[in-house]
A and B are shown apart, each in its own frame.
Chain A
């Protein structure tokens, strides 16, 4: 890290990685000393913690060693989306309390990342307010109370009904049967509420309020079965059910999963595989389950960095140069996003293969996107699967959504596009932009190509240390303008989209992005990177070497004959790591 900082601080003496050669800008800097320091720092950059930034790979290369302890299982709070779905399923409410919570998703991260799951006093206050509003609604009238409690306390022995309600409700709220102490505590809440309000509804309200604001509800607590062995603690069946349910549906276990947990069926990989297949689908077992689809879409939108598109949909004016892109508006941006999310649905729910990620010859278009892509045919407001023009489009990378997000308002950005592919598809991100560098490109001009604007990147050796990897990859997208339209001519000259990248350790030279996609689609690197993003989504953290076994299982599933993303998820839940955690946690 220090070497990295040193390298970057040295860069203070340099400026202007665009357009013109760098010149010293800080009058009191000592350029010579700074350059010496670069030379100094260079050799020790690889190998330390900063190596990933220096164009290194984030891919975990360790091999699976039998008996090794699994990676850490950080304690996870429900995400805001999970919170909303969970209270919906627990209480049948139509309230969406999390819309009032502080947003916590940071740009470039996944909302399931444990680093996004902190609790501030203001969020805690919102949780308490939400618990109160939910409890009030759930006990609004006699019928609601009876439905909530599952028995009518007026129709027999009240105490028995209350005890049964407390046990059943806590089991669902805590996603496991409550301990005796916990039952006593909730029973005391009931009694206090009943005494204060003078009726059963007040008692039930106090129980709901307390349970929904408990850390046992807000966090996915895992304590294991209390018999750790070989550095591993085995999860209880309830904890396994919870992992399965939040992975597949982003909510609490349903009745069937609770039932499987209570009968201790989830210990076998086969049963877990069957459960995850079931959870992904609606009751007819063909269409995706709406919650599963929402979870997948949210993940894809974050992995693929579609966040800026939401801002464009919310406020399209000013996002694109109106003279160049008069057709750009919120509707078009929405259609772009839908194309990509629909494509992601197909990957997971329609037997998509990992090679489709970059190599798919199909996509899903409506009238707006079809027009943008220059595809004739009868399109309307609905999306249908179409075969793409093979010379112009292939897989995810040529989606208008990504091409738009990774562009400026007037012209495309080969830099953003190159960085996107390196970071999100190849798991080999470049190091962050150093200080002292003007990374705002010069204005587009009509006398030269967009590509030529970035010549300084490769002329200057300092800039080239990063841009030698970024730019050639980004240039392969030169055929697509700032809203993802195909163009063959720029400023009267034919477009030069030649470029390349290193994939699987081999330098590829390609004619354009479609060529790159064709060469990289079936690579191990793209597969392994996709696996790691999915692992991170499922685990709340980036993978480490300790996760080699789970990763190997997931990779294996994508390499086997069916090569489906669903098979990868099945492999993930089948792995022993899915039902254990490090004993030291």
Chain B
């Protein structure tokens, strides 16, 4: 195995583009190192991205959004008061990943590139409208987070491409987001269903909304139908019923050892309803 420590994403992309065997990028390592130790993957080239300046930084963008380095661990996100104030749903999703020890290393970019449909941080990013900058041999491009996952364990990134930063849009006024997942226990489980809702209010009325569902399809889903069900409403009972129906309709899960198809469909509706209420209350400033 060749271990690389490039100091720029351009160099990292160049090494990746030249690689001919199995390649892995290393940020927090909470997936890659575990897979290596378990013998699931033996990379020929392992590119450690943590030597690149700025990967551990959280910076406010000129328009009021947030640029998050690809090696910022969950525990740092959780401790960043201004970011938590703007995007509590994004941060609470990331903070559900793993144990306290894992939180000290695990990253948003890693959780996204691991490609799990049950990744807890991904629905929140998608609902927030987050973008990632992808650096490749021929330069950089910005794509929405929902364009990254291709299916369990797979991404749409081309050979030589690497995520070089994550950008959350400006939260603006009267916005709120939330993420909920269902697990049978309280900790140490993989989401059976996950749901994130981000919305903006004008008075009591929802004027913008994005709803993402996790663990109910091969990739995390962005559901237009769910968003439509609540936009223009005050999240009254009729809107919640419409949202429930839309979430149940959007969910296309399988039955496996973690839960049945029927259960996942039903719980997708429940979580959408509950997450929407939390996001709504946050947008009203009623809760944090």
A interacts with B? no
User: Which B residues contact A (CB, under 8 angstroms)?
Assistant: none
- Identify the A interface with B (CB < 8 A): none
